[in-house]
């Protein structure tokens, strides 16, 4: 009986595990193998050079600059996105109160419509979002929506070449990344909050708890697993940032490499700078290590005893 049960389990797991090994694990192994060679990606000639690519990577100032931009994104984008997602979801689900005999805790009026509005950026492709925000950031006072708005409000002194100034370019791109993703987490956290019994909020309200207290003492602890998962997902997305930076930045990572990120540097190294596939593969390994460290730390810090309700 025991052997039959194990054969049954292995029979179901064999094909999925084989597909996972071929489609997921195998590319990582191949990337590491390529990083140990001087392969150009164009010819079949490969020469094993050991850790030379990694030594070259350590002394590459552009690599460290791009990594620092990814780390800034890693710290800012998930924090702001999840904070806004939690705030809006809380207001949409618990921010209002019923009147009359059915008095209780509820979302603000029209919350279902707001959820659709918040989620709208999710149905747009990254390309459309990037082109849309490029027009918003356009420094021309007539064509750029942001500068035109500032001019009409009498704030012409704040008009700026947003994506053309290295002091503001990275921040502008991070704003777009946050705008594009916060709606998804509004809907995700709203679904989590909808599963929390309203009696808990009612009891807290009867005890005199304010909204801020109910958020930090009730909502956030009960959504901690969801927030932790979202944090890892957003962190991985922040470690990427390739599409937004390539489409929005000046000259692919400019001005003056002020918006360059590791995926974009990897792309330019592999396909533009003399087709250095082996060197680019070492950057991919570095990205993998940083992402894994972030994911492991995030999951360990979020580990706790499960709260049942």
pLDDT bucket at 97, cuts 50 / 70 / 90: low
pLDDT bucket at 123, cuts 50 / 70 / 90: confident
- Mean pLDDT over 118-126 rounds to 86
pLDDT of residue 304: 60
Residue partners of 206: CB distance under 8 A and separation at least 6? none
Instruction: Kindly report, residue by residue over 208-222, the tens digit of the pLDDT.
Output: 777 778 888 888 888
Instruction: Kindly report, residue by residue over 145-184, the tens digit of the pLDDT.
Output: 888 888 888 888 888 888 888 889 999 999 999 999 998 9
Residue 7 pLDDT exceeds 70: yes
Residue 46 pLDDT exceeds 60: yes
- Using DSSP, how many helices (H) and how many strands (E) does the chain show? 15, 2
- Mean pLDDT over 197-206 rounds to 79
Q: How many CA atoms lie within 13 A of 69 on its CB side?
A: 30
3-state secondary structure of 84: helix
Gap between the terminal Cα atoms of the chain:
38
Cα separation values, 124 from 129, 179, 203, 239, Å: 7, 12, 41, 21
CB 292 within 8 A of CB 274: no
CB 87 within 8 A of CB 188: no
Return the residue matching tokens 């956030």.
220
What's the angle, vertex CA 86, arms to CA 81 and CA 90, rounded to 5? 150
- Mean pLDDT over 268-296 rounds to 86
């Amino acid at each position: 009986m025991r052997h039959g049960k194990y054969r049954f389990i292995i029979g179901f797991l064999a094909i999925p595990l084989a597909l996972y090994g071929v489609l997921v694990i195998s590319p990582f192994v191949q990337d590491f193998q390529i990083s140990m060679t001087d392969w150009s990606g164009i010819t079949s000639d490969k020469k094993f050079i050991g850790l030379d690519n990694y030594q070259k990577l350590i002394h590459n100032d552009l690599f460290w600059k791009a990594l620092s931009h990814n780390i800034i994104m890693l710290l800012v984008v998930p924090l702001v996105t999840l904070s806004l997602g939690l705030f809006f979801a809380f207001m949409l689900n618990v921010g209002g109160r019923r009147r009359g005999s059915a008095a209780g805790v509820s979302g603000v009026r029209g919350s279902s419509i707001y959820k659709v509005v918040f989620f709208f950026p999710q149905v747009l492709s990254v390309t459309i979002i990037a082109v849309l925000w490029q027009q918003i950031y356009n420094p021309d006072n007539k064509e750029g929506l942001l500068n035109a708005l500032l001019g009409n409000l009498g704030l012409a002194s704040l008009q700026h070449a947003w994506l053309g100034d290295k002091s503001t370019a990275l921040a502008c791109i991070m704003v777009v990344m946050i705008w594009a993703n916060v709606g998804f987490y509004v809907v995700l956290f709203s679904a989590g909050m909808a599963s929390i019994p309203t009696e808990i909020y009612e009891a807290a309200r009867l005890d005199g708890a304010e909204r801020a207290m109910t958020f930090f003492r009730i909502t956030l602890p009960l959504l901690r697993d969801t927030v932790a998962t979202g944090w890892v997902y957003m962190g991985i997305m922040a470690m990427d940032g390739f599409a937004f930076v390539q489409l929005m930045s000046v000259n692919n990572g400019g001005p003056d490499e002020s918006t360059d990120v590791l995926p974009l540097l990897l792309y330019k190294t592999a396909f533009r700078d003399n087709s250095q596939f082996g060197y680019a593969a070492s950057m991919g390994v570095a990205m993998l290590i940083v992402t894994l460290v972030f994911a492991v730390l995030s999951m360990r810090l979020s580990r706790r005893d499960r709260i049942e309700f």
